[in-house]
Chain A
Amino acid sequence: MKIRIFVGTGGVGKTSVTAASALRTALDGEKCLVMTVDPALRLKTALGMTGAALEQRVPLEPASTKGELWAALLDVPTTMDRLVRAHSGAAKAQTIIDHPVYKLLLTSLAGMNELVAVERINQAIADGFENLFIDTAPSRHTFEFLDRPEFFVQLVSFPLVKLVGRTYAWWKKSPLSGPDSSDLYGRLQQMLGATLVSQVLDFFAIFQPVAEAYALHSRQTLKILRDSRTTSFTIVTTPAAAKHDSDYLFNELTKRNYFVEALIMNRLWPDLRLKATSGASPAVRDLAGWYEGVYTAQLAIHDNVHAAWAGKGRRVIDLAELSMDIDGIAGLARIAEQLKAA
């Protein structure tokens, strides 16, 4: 099994590079799944996916290709429902799925994507995909999908939380739950409002086995993601962003014990050191000078980053800026060719 995770700041072309890498591996004859952790639906446009299905097989050219390319969007409700159904009986699963707090968790709140991503990776592994290519959210949120589950695992393992899960149902039926109760749950209700607390606790009481299953899966998945034999991280950057971001991302990942394999410098311009003839008008000279200036600045950053990463012992792969729109398989195939040549 191989997992490759692509990280980077916004607008550097992570989604295209991720999809193109998956395409390349699929064309080499492997069965690949490319999935996104980012709530933005970029992957769908990049691959030219149509229809509403969350997991689709992408047709490859030539049709005789042995490999397969699948694409999956991260859908919070589908992923969570599958987890719930797998870890509680049919009747209980339905109670959870119909519960107002569960619906609230899935639909109204920010941050669920990050929590559910590792479970989705776990499900993809369970589905037998041998090659996973994962596109992440821009850097401000990149580490959330790795960090949040860790906190959840901690939380579920606290004795007090376990206790609440196991005793709340009992407490609700008991005479202690009257309006004047001075116990822990009663206090909480006074502080936070009765409906909220009873709904949350009620939900947690039935949800706890699922939460524990989630925590177990997260632990396993994060362990796989930290194993450099199966998982590697690739940082995607551009000449405009690389000045600052590549070292930062490298350090943050290394600090968390994830293995950074390579840096991809995307969207490099072709050589634009142009020569204006002596007869050229000032307007033409200005324009040529402007492009030369932008190109020269790019080149300087490019050379610095190559030198710095050679010092880290990591590869840097250059990808040229394509002037055409890269959406659709044809555009991705062009990036895939560049990746193959590298």
Chain B
Amino acid sequence: MRRAITIFCGKGGVGKTTLSLAFALRHAERGRKVLVVTSHPIPELAVTISLKGLKDSHSLAAANLFVIHIDPRDVLQRVVRQGIGSATLADAVLSSRIYTSLIEVIPGLKEIAFVSRMRELSIQDGTESADRFDLIVWDAPATGHFLRTLDVARNFDSYLSGPLSLLGKDLAGFLSDPAALVLMPVTILEEMAVKETMELCEKLIADLKIRPTALICNMTSPLLAASQSDWEETRRNFGANVKGSGNLNFIFERLAVERALFGRLRLAGSVPLHVVPRKPASTSDVELLLELAGVLSSVSNGPRL
């Protein structure tokens, strides 16, 4: 049996990591065992968001939430150990400086190792009981690297021979199975991000034959979906009743852009849209995540159990 992987993908800086964690937290709070695979090395993850304080305030969620970074080096190390058999010889290979430099340098190798570990995690054959999760979330790297990771993994078997190409065949199969992946592109309502997201959705549909489950518009401002007449009325009233004239233009220019981009996404219409409003201020990251988790509850229940 295979567990589908929910992927949060999109442009850099749109909030993939935060939303991955919020989504996972929501399910963990309800007692599901959730694994978040992040492309950030763990020290760098804390740069984006911190889970400090979760254990004290939400012990069930904390007990069910697992965040890991797959280090391709560890994966390759296991492959080498299995391939060589003799522990002494394997140690010698792994500790040689030539091996450590080689795996850093070979293009594509790390991406392949990463995807093959993801595939392993998704297989629920009961052998790795400690690693069995009800939900697996992949906080993917920014669009360019995400697409290249998919490309490398899918085309790996076409240019290699020998045992490595068998691994490649498995990966190609894994990534062309629509039941294996749940795609959740994330965007913010800015020209570049929206353009990139629309291209990403088209490419995923064309190449992987997988239609994203939801497109999430993150960090939106108020009045996004207000009707044209409501919007104009608020704008008039706001101008008449609020002081700070120079900066009011800033607000309305931005709101107009967001509304236009949201309208464009709605027109494109191939993927259901979900809106996650910007939170003005939160006292802590955990509080922010819990708030977002509530907002995300309408997005998807995740893959069915």
Chain B residue nearest to A275 (CB atoms) is: B243
Contacts A9-B12, A287-B222, A288-B242: A196 and B161 contacting too (C-beta < 8 A)? yes
Contact among A40, A111, A148 with B108 in the assembled complex (CB-CB below 8 Å): A111
Give the bracket for the number of chain B residues in contact with chain A: 35 or more
Shortest Cβ distance from B81 into chain A, in angstroms? 14
Q: Assess the A244–B281 pair: CB atoms within 8 A.
A: no
The 6 sampled A-B contact pairs (Cβ below 8 Å) are A105-B107, A154-B97, A272-B250, A274-B244, A291-B251, A323-B257
**Interface residue count for A (Cβ, 8 Å)?**
71
Chain B residue nearest to A241 (CB atoms) is: B13
Show the binding face of A for B, using Cβ within 8 Å: 9-12, 38-40, 42, 45, 100, 104-105, 108-112, 115, 138-141, 147-148, 151-152, 154-155, 158, 160-161, 191-197, 240-241, 244-245, 248, 269-277, 279-281, 283-284, 286-288, 290-291, 293-294, 296-297, 321, 323-325, 327
Shortest Cβ distance from A122 into chain B, in angstroms? 18
B301 sits at the interface (CB 8 A)? no
Q: Assess the A11–B14 pair: CB atoms within 8 A.
A: yes
B101 sits at the interface (CB 8 A)? yes
5 more contacts with CB within 8 A, not counting A110-B149, A139-B44, A280-B237, are A11-B193, A111-B107, A244-B48, A288-B238, A293-B280
Q: Assess the B12–A194 pair: CB atoms within 8 A.
A: no
Chain A residue nearest to B233 (CB atoms) is: A283
Contact among B105, B142, B162 with A138 in the assembled complex (CB-CB below 8 Å): B142
CA distance A192 to B110 in the complex (A): 17
B202 sits at the interface (CB 8 A)? no
Show the binding face of B for A, using Cβ within 8 Å: 11-14, 39-40, 43-44, 46-50, 83, 97-98, 100-102, 104-105, 107-108, 110-111, 141-145, 148-149, 151-152, 155, 159-165, 188, 191-193, 219, 221-223, 234, 237-238, 241-244, 246-251, 253-254, 257, 278, 280-281
Q: Assess the B108–A274 pair: CB atoms within 8 A.
A: no
Chain A residue nearest to B248 (CB atoms) is: A274
Shortest Cβ distance from A168 into chain B, in angstroms? 16
Chain B residue nearest to A155 (CB atoms) is: B101
Chain A residue nearest to B49 (CB atoms) is: A244
CA distance A110 to B144 in the complex (A): 10
Tell which of A42, A160, A281, A291 has the most Cβ of chain B within 10 Å.
A291
Contacts A244-B47, A244-B48: A193 and B237 contacting too (C-beta < 8 A)? no
Contacts A140-B142, A279-B241: A287 and B223 contacting too (C-beta < 8 A)? yes
Q: Assess the A195–B250 pair: CB atoms within 8 A.
A: no
Contacts of B243 in A (CB 8 A): 274-275, 277
Shortest Cβ distance from A2 into chain B, in angstroms? 27
Contacts of B191 in A (CB 8 A): 325, 327
CA distance A9 to B18 in the complex (A): 14
